[in-house]
Chain A
Amino acid sequence: MEPFEHKWDVQFRKGTLEMVILALLGQKAQFGLRLLQNLHQFETMKITEGTLYPLLDRLKREGVVESYWLQEGESRPRKYYRLSEVGKDKLDGLKARWQKSVKDINQLFHQCKIEE
């Protein structure tokens, strides 16, 4: 990966990570490690554990996610996160904003192409 690409990923994630996590939790409740595995499927979303856990804590403090402990069978108890009602609204808002941004940027690219 080019250095500027890595830099771009870092910058871009700063703005989008919250939306991405809310979207994943919007599908179903998940614990930290599972969430991390889901993020790591994507090349541009490989965040570290040290970033994810404090971020989840912040989202919880802001009231967009809720957490609960769950023990299944013999396994160790896991801390699960799910979207709160506030979080659902926020996700809807962020998604709409995201789609608008993508549309705007694509239109801009399109215009530039025509002018070329």
Chain B
Amino acid sequence: MARSKLIHNYLSELEIYLSRISEVQALEVVQEIESHIYEALSLRESSENTEIKSILAKLGTPRELAAGYIEHITIGVAPPKGLKPLLKFKKGVSRSFYYLVYTIGFGIGFILVVAAMLKMITPSLFGVWYAEHGNSLVVSFNQSDYSAQEIPAIWLAPISAMIGTGILYLTYKICRILKRHI
């Protein structure tokens, strides 16, 4: 490969990897590295490809070199002082979100499982009824309204228990993930 081609390829690749910083900054970096390569080359006795390759090797691959320039973007510089309260706030939000999910998830799951168990233990006292000609559902102890029609427990209890257990399991999983982030 011609020597200028080697250098050209290196610099174009470098420019691609520098796309995270502004175009003006990237161009300046490329110009500086280009200047360095030719300057280093002029100090060598020959300008064989092996010489160019050794100069380029000392710079590292274009990707490695670019990484040094964009490190502050990818890793992130320390946040300015004013940002601290904001971070705390964000942390606070995720903490309360965790408790919210925890409470609602375990609450609903627990109620559904308990309801299913109650129906199995005291079938006559607890149940779900259609009321007002099917316009609403009533879940209660000892429904006394005779116009209401009970939904058979053979369907409801297992479904309630299954959904409840599912919600409990899901909440447990979600809370474990959330806990890692607060």
**A positions within 8 Å CB-CB of B:** 31-33, 48-51, 53-55, 57-58, 61, 76-79
18 contacts between A and B (CB under 8 A): A31-B39, A33-B36, A33-B39, A48-B60, A49-B59, A49-B60, A50-B58, A50-B68, A53-B29, A53-B32, A53-B68, A57-B68, A58-B72, A76-B38, A76-B39, A77-B31, A78-B39, A79-B35
> Total contacts A to B, CB within 8 angstroms?
51
- The 7 lowest CB-CB distance pairs between A and B, nearest first, are A54-B68, A50-B60, A79-B32, A49-B58, A49-B59, A50-B59, A33-B39
Contacts A50-B59, A50-B65, A77-B35 supplied; 9 other A-B pairs, CB < 8 Å:
A49-B60, A50-B64, A50-B68, A53-B29, A53-B69, A54-B65, A57-B68, A76-B38, A79-B32
A36 CA to B180 CA, complexed, in Å = 45
B4 to chain A, nearest CB (A): 14
| Residues 45-80 of chain B, each 1 if its beta carbon lies under 8 Å from chain A, else 0 | 000000000000011100011001101100000000
A77 CA to B58 CA, complexed, in Å = 21
Interface of A is mostly: helix
**Residue among A33, A50, A61 making CB contact with B40, cutoff 8 Å:** A33
In the complex, which residue of chain A has the Cβ closest to the Cβ of B43?
A33
A44 to chain B, nearest CB (A): 18
Q: CB distance B35 to A53 under 8 Å?
A: no
**B positions within 8 Å CB-CB of A:** 28-29, 31-33, 35-36, 38-40, 43, 58-60, 64-65, 68-69, 71-72
When distances are taken between beta carbons in the complex, the residues of chain B under 8 Å from A53 are: 29, 32-33, 36, 59, 65, 68-69
When distances are taken between beta carbons in the complex, the residues of chain A under 8 Å from B35 are: 31, 76-79
A31 CA to B40 CA, complexed, in Å = 12
When distances are taken between beta carbons in the complex, the residues of chain A under 8 Å from B59 are: 48-50, 53
A116 to chain B, nearest CB (A): 44
A79 CA to B39 CA, complexed, in Å = 12
A79 CA to B65 CA, complexed, in Å = 18
A78 CA to B59 CA, complexed, in Å = 17
Q: CB distance B69 to A57 under 8 Å?
A: yes
Q: CB distance A32 to B65 under 8 Å?
A: no
When distances are taken between beta carbons in the complex, the residues of chain B under 8 Å from A48 are: 58-60
When distances are taken between beta carbons in the complex, the residues of chain A under 8 Å from B38 are: 76
When distances are taken between beta carbons in the complex, the residues of chain A under 8 Å from B72 are: 58, 61
Q: CB distance B69 to A32 under 8 Å?
A: no
